[in-house]
Amino acid sequence: MMKETAYIINTARGKIIVEQDLIDAVKEHKIKGAILDVIKTEPPKADDPMLSTKGILVTPHISHISNQSLKALKDYALSNQLSVLRGQEPRNPVV
């Protein structure tokens, strides 16, 4: 049992949450709300109740974006490119 002041936060996979149960829990004040960067169906349809339920905030699957994460991605890509140019294996080759 969760406290009525609890929030569900999901940045993993949309399918791990039973959406109708979450909607019901928020509407019935069993939990305070939810913040979701992922939902079961992406992109969501305009009439998806996850988008219109008061107390549920859905972000467009980009919550990782920040100046710090963008710099890390650029550094990682550059490191992989330099590895290949030096004749080395990249860290995460796609095969």
Catalytic residue among 4, 13, 29, 64: 13
Predicted pLDDT at 18 = 97
Asked if 91 is an active-site residue, the reply is no
Residue 11 pLDDT > 80: yes
23 lies in the same domain as 45: yes
20 lies in the same domain as 57: yes
Asked if 61 is an active-site residue, the reply is yes
List the CATH number of the domain containing 29: 3.40.50.720
39 lies in the same domain as 76: no
68 lies in the same domain as 55: no
Residue 21 pLDDT > 80: yes
Q: Residue range 25-32: average pLDDT?
A: 98
Q: Structural domain of residue 29, as residue ranges?
A: 1-62
- The contacts found for 36-41 with CB under 8 angstroms, 24 or more apart, are 36/8, 36/9, 36/10, 37/10, 37/11, 37/61, 37/62, 37/63, 38/10, 38/11, 38/12, 38/13, 38/14, 39/14, 40/14, 40/15, 41/14
Catalytic residue among 42, 64, 86, 89: 42
Catalytic residue among 4, 28, 29, 61: 61
pLDDT digits (tens, 9 = 90+) for 47-90: 999 999 999 999 988 877 889 989 999 999 999 999 999 999 98
Give the predicted TM-score (pTM) of the model: 0.68
